[in-house]
Amino acid sequence: MASETHNAADAAASAPGMPQLDFSTFGNQIFWLMVTLVVIYFVLSRIALPRIAAVLAERQGTITNDLAAAEDLKVKATEAEEAYNKALADARAEAQTIIAQAKAEIQADLDDATAKADAEIAAKLVESEKKIAEIREGAMQSVKDVAKDTAKEIVAAMGGKADARTVTAAVNARMKG
Amino acid sequence: MATEAHSDEGGLVFHPMDQFIVKPLFGDGPVGMFTITNVTLWMALSVIAIIALMVMGTSGRSTIPGRVQSIGELAYGFIYKMVEDVAGKDAVGFFPYIMTLFMFIVFANFLGLLPAAFTTTSHIAVTAVLALLVFVTVTVVGFVKHGMGFLGLFWVSSAPLPLRPVLALIEVISYFVRPVSHSIRLMGNMMAGHAVMKVFAAFAPMILLSTGLGLLVTPLSVIAIAAIYGLEILVAFIQAYVFTILTCVYLKDALHPAH
Amino acid sequence: MEGDIVQMGAYIGAGLACMGMGGSAIGVGNVAGNFLSGALRNPSAAAGQTATLFIGIAFAEALGIFSFLVALLLMFAV
């Protein structure tokens, strides 16, 4: 340790002051600095900077292209979605028409059947009424006949002579009442 | 001298300036103009590092950059944007020149931070040449672009008339002080940090001399070296950045001298 | 003896020159602090002004470096 100290002290004694102000080394430093700067300048301006500029420009181009492609794809996707939506809407509309048509047909059939049934029912009603009227007529006649006969018999049994016309008139008057 | 007293009493070695000595790499002769010195070595190393980063790193020309290429592109974009923003769009012609300055300074600063390295930018000869290059370039560009109109830079037309000669004097002085402050700022920052680190490093072997005091001083100085080293990494970049951006500012003055 | 007095003067001067660094420390702190308070008021404008910040710091710091340089010159070169 001690000897090292001495050696260092000796070295320092041989080069006193600030090495920065040792003018004898200035020429050397300036010469090598100029060499260095010229080399760096040529390396940078001839090789490195144009290359990096080209790489950056290329990357910019690639990014722009990719963005354009993405934009294209996006437009295409939008178009496809629109087409899909349109197809869906068409299909839906068609389905609606078909449903409406079917409904109308069914309605028509139903109306037809209802009308026919109504007509049949009406016809049957008329017939039945006619029959009922006939039966009623028949029954009236029978009642009249029976009443006339009975009245004649009763008059005869009472000892009177029954006038057919009077009896009939009397029965008719009663029947009306 | 405090340092001498220390080395006499305790054997601590304080030679914070020894790291800046320019000496020949081969032999012990005097330092001539073309002698290969440690300056040559470390400048060559910075050139190699720049070539490795900017040429070899980008040799793939890949659209999706790798790590090294990303750093190269980052440096390119950083300086390009700085030139464009600060000096104006018409200054991009000076971009390779400014890029050269920035790359050299930043690599010299960072390589100088390696242990046992020699910091080329800590020498006034180097930074003065860099600053004078900028100064001469800016002045020449100003006169070529604007002729005598460049002198309008010193004539503050927005100030009241009686004040203008005074202001012109101040402006002229500040214009000529520019290369001085430009160079001394870089050199002083680099030298100061390295010298401070060396001073702390000299305190570190205290434990070998006296155990009681050493237990206190040695850990403190080691921690201080680490802290200063971190600061120096920051300073190494910021000084390169400041040198470059001031170059851009001066260039803007030359291209657009109107106040 | 006279040389010793000259050396003593140089070292005292170096110590005094180091006070200049305190001034530049105040200056740098002012620049950074004012930038920060402005940036917190209007964070969107802060990003564009970092270059100005560094230029201001560099100018303030250069003066401290000058005083450091004077100290070094007194220590090693005078």
- For chain C, list the domains and their CATH numbers: 16-77 (1.20.20)
Query: Sign (positive/negative) of CA torsion B217, B223, B225, B231?
Result: negative
Helix C50-72 / helix C19-41 crossing angle, nearest 10 deg? 170
Q: Which of A132-141, A151-160, C24-33 shows the lowest mean pLDDT across its residues? A: A151-160
**C-alpha distance from B181 to closest chain C C-alpha (Å):** 7
How far is it, in rounded angstroms, from Cα B243 to Cα B237? 10
Q: Count up the domains in chain B and report the number.
A: 1
B238 phi, psi to nearest 5 deg: -65, -35
CB count, 10 Å around CB of A22?
A: 18
In C54-73, the residues whose Cβ lies within 8 Å of chain B are 54-55, 57-59, 61-62, 65-66, 68-69, 72
CA distance C58 to B247: 13
Residue C64's pLDDT is what? 87
Tens-place pLDDT, residues B10-64: 567 777 788 888 888 887 778 888 888 889 999 999 999 999 998 888 888 777 8
Structure tokens belonging to residue A136:
């009623």
Does some domain include residue B11?
A: no
d(CA B176, CA B165): 17
Query: Rounded distance, CA A142 to CA A134, Å?
Result: 12
**Dihedral over Cα of A115, A116, A117, A121: its sign:** positive
What CA–CA distance (Å, rounded) separates B104 from B121?
9
For chain B, say whether C51 makes contact (Cβ under 8 Å). Answer: yes
Burial of B224 (0-12, 13-18, 19+ CB in 10 A): middle
Round the CA-based radius of gyration of chain A to a whole number and report it. Answer: 66
What pLDDT was estimated at residue C61?
Answer: 84
Enter the tokens of residue B41.
Answer: 């070595």
Residue of B nearest to C76 (CA): B17
Contact residues on chain A for B125, CB-CB shorter than 8 A: 20, 25-26, 29-30, 33
**Which of C6, C12, C49, C65 to mutate against chain B (most B CBs within 10 Å)?**
C65
Residues sharing a CB contact under 8 Å with residue B185, sequence separation 6 or more, in sequence order: B239, B242, B243, C58, C61, C62, C65
Across the interface, do A52 and B76 touch by the CB < 8 Å criterion? Answer: yes
- For residue B76, what is the DSSP state? H
Q: Quick one: DSSP state of residue B257? A: -
In this predicted model, what pLDDT tens digit does every residue of C35-72 receive, in sequence order? 999 999 988 888 888 888 888 888 888 888 888 888 88
Q: φ, ψ for residue B205 (rounded to 5)?
A: -80, 15
pLDDT value at position A25?
A: 86
Summarised one tens digit per residue, pLDDT across range B175-192 is 998 898 889 889 988 988
Domain ranges of chain A: 47-176
- CA–CA distance, C46 with B95 (Å, rounded to integer): 26
Residues B243/B130, Cβ–Cβ less than 8 Å: yes
- Pair B250, B138: CB distance under 8 Å: yes
B 87-146 → A contacts, CB under 8 A = 95-97, 99-100, 103-104, 120, 122-126, 129-130, 133
Residue A144, Cβ density class (10 Å: 0-12 exposed, 13-18 middle, ≥19 buried): middle
What are the phi and psi torsion angles at C11 (to 5°)? Answer: -70, -40
For residues B37, B42, B43 and B46, what is the CA-based torsion angle, rounded to 10 degrees? 160
Residue B24 has phi, psi (to 5 degrees) of -65, 145
pTM: 0.73
A19 close contact with B: CB closer than 8 A: yes
Q: Write down the ipTM of this complex.
A: 0.85
Which of A31, A36, A44 has its CB closest to that of B34?
A: A31
What is the model's pLDDT at position C68? Answer: 84
From the CB of residue A37, how many other CB atoms can be counted at a distance below 10 Å?
20
CB B15 within 8 A of CB B198: yes
Range of the domain at B248: 17-255
Residue of A nearest to C69 (CA): A18
Tell me the shortest Cα–Cα distance from A33 to chain C, in angstroms: 23
Which is more confidently placed, B17 or B200? B200
Nearest to B96 among A24, A45, A51 (CB): A45
Task: Confirm whether B6 is domain-assigned.
Answer: no
Residue C49 CA to chain centroid, in angstroms?
22
For chain B, say whether C25 makes contact (Cβ under 8 Å): no
Q: Read off the pLDDT band of A16 (50, 70, 90).
A: low
Domain assignment present for B206: yes
pLDDT digits (tens, 9 = 90+) for B148-183: 888 888 887 788 888 888 888 988 998 998 898 889
Residue C31's pLDDT band, with cuts at 50, 70 and 90, is: very high
Residue-level pLDDT at A10: 39
